[in-house]
Amino acid sequence: MMIDIDLLLAWGATFKKVVKGNVIFNEGTTCSFYYQLVSGRVSWLNINEQGKAFIQTIIEPGECFGEMPLFDDEPFAATAMAEEDTVLIRLHKSTFMQLVKENQDIHFKFSKLLAQRIRYKFMLLKVLACHDPENMIGTLLTYLKKEKRNFCTDCSQLKLTRQQIADMTGLRVETVIRSMRMMHEKGLLLIDKGKVYC
């Protein structure tokens, strides 16, 4: 979901640069802003007590993130971290809510976005329950490609590392590497010089 940047600026939004590896907001903290990615990439993740990360999703330019607390006044459900040097635009929460109230089309776009994110979670929970790594990885990649996320639109190259796939599925990176190699041998994906294509 992307709100026009000129509209955001007209409502008082500001740009913010975030250096690779820096946290934008932490899970459990209070939400003060609407965030939209202009350039770079952001991981939206949870970190367990042992320090292992579980990536909920990777945000690409044009997408918003951390929007749930804007609507339910609860704390952030995940941490947002810059995967690379990033520029984002942010608008104060109270101003964002007024913008949504005055622009019904934006409100409907957010309803659709939230429904899509819930559907993605249902799909992911379903494949996680099957405990079949190839199926888990295949379903995740099929979904991401269908949604035109984390793939090069010109050559269909996956823009995720094997570690990121492991962090998104809860699998060990060794399992992801082995499973993807088997998927390559079955013709389900192409691995060429270490790069993955679907």
pLDDT in tens, 135-159: 889 988 988 888 888 888 888 888 8
Element spanning 36, H or E: strand 33-39
**Shared-domain flag, residues 18 and 97:** yes
**Shared-domain flag, residues 18 and 78:** yes
In a domain, 131, yes or no: yes
In a domain, 109, yes or no: no
User: Considering just the CA atoms, what is the radius of gyration of the chain in Å?
Assistant: 18
Number of domains in the chain: 2
In a domain, 113, yes or no: no
**Shared-domain flag, residues 87 and 15:** yes
- What percent of the chain clears pLDDT 90, i.e. is strictly above it? 62
Locate 77 and state its tokens.
């459900």
Q: Which domain holds residue 148?
A: 120-197
**Shared-domain flag, residues 95 and 15:** yes
Q: Report the alpha-carbon distance of residue 3 to residue 175 in Å, rounded.
A: 39
Total-model pTM: 0.76
CATH number at residue 188: 1.10.10.10
128 pLDDT exceeds 80?
no
Token pair 């295949």 is found at: 138
CATH number at residue 32: 2.60.120.10
**What pLDDT, in 10s, does the model give residues 64-113?**
999 999 999 999 999 999 999 999 999 999 999 999 999 999 999 989 98
